[in-house]
Amino acid sequence: MINKKIIDYFSRIKNLKEQDLLEKDLILHLFFKDLIDNNKFGQNFIFKGGTCLTKCYLGYYRFSEDLDFTWGNQDQFKDLSSKALRRILSTLIGTLGKELEIIALKNDLDFKIEKNNRRYVELGANDKFATFKFWYKSVISQEDKFIKIQINFCESLLYPINVCTAKSLFSDLNKETREESEFIFPESTNLFFPIECNCYSLEEILVEKNRAILTRRGIKYRDFIDVFLILRNLNKKIELFERKIILKTKPVLDNYEKYRQNFLLKKQNKFAENMKIQEGESRLLLRELPKEFDSFVKEYVIYLNKLLDKIK
């Protein structure tokens, strides 16, 4: 369990003000380590999403809020009827849930694999999507908070997966500070060591981020930040990925009415060219964005609005 003294100590070392977000990030990392160390989970799921970006590719430019994974063995679901697929997924979710209960208990998190209890489990698209919530009482706010794991069981991958080394917010501490931390808080040892895991490529995350921007309800400004930083890391233009963005987006529009309606609403209203980061999301940032980010957003929004019209 992450206690107040640990949070005070590490927030001082890193000069962090947002202790509630630091608390969640620490809990998330320890939980992530236990997930990957669990053979039934670590060998079967592929890490992806914004937290994957910070831990595996781009460094800690923002706090982590959740963990995203895709089921690795997509061939298992080929040529199955809808009924057979749902039966397999239901069994898979139940088996996975039992493992998650064990890991949650180890981390002092409240979780039960109760499929009809939305406090813990939310299923969508005939069990192809699953969200699991793990609750804790914050030692900062004294309120009930949760970390979230989202799993996509059925997903076509367009790029090969990578084996990555996932780091924590504190992986860059010098040897002296690390040894001091481990001496004062022996339970903090697992915060420092890197974690090897299967993960999406940067290109796959980029394509999926754009699909999310086009099909999710509302807008998460952090997605724009993620896209900007990925493109800068790859030193490529978004237009080079257009065909695969469309390829990734079309099946979602064809098969899921909710996402199609979200897309059509965005197509009707368009993205605003003057959008600004909201306070709730600015709290997540751990370093200032480069000056060129604002000009990127303006150009990117123009591109997105054109892309909305291209996708039928």
Domains and CATH numbers, the chain: 1-200 (3.10.450.620), 201-312 (no CATH)
Q: State mean pLDDT over 25-49.
A: 95
The pTM assigned to this predicted structure is 0.94
Can you give the pLDDT at residue 151? 98
Type of residue found at 57: Y
Can you give the pLDDT at residue 279? 64
Residue 8's CB: how many other CB atoms inside 10 A? 14
Q: Are 214 and 308 in contact (CB under 8 A)?
A: yes
Q: State mean pLDDT over 50-64.
A: 94
d(CA 175, CA 209): 36
Task: Average the pLDDT over each of 17-31, 86-100, 180-194, 293-307 and give the range with the smallest value.
Answer: 180-194
Q: State mean pLDDT over 242-260.
A: 95
pLDDT band at 281 (very low <50, low <70, confident <90, very high): confident
Mean pLDDT taken over the chain: 94
d(CA 159, CA 250): 17
Question: Which tokens is 217 given?
Answer: 């309800």
Give me Rg for the CA atoms of the chain.
Answer: 20
Percentage of the residues of the chain whose pLDDT score is greater than 90: 82
Q: Are 267 and 308 in contact (CB under 8 A)?
A: yes
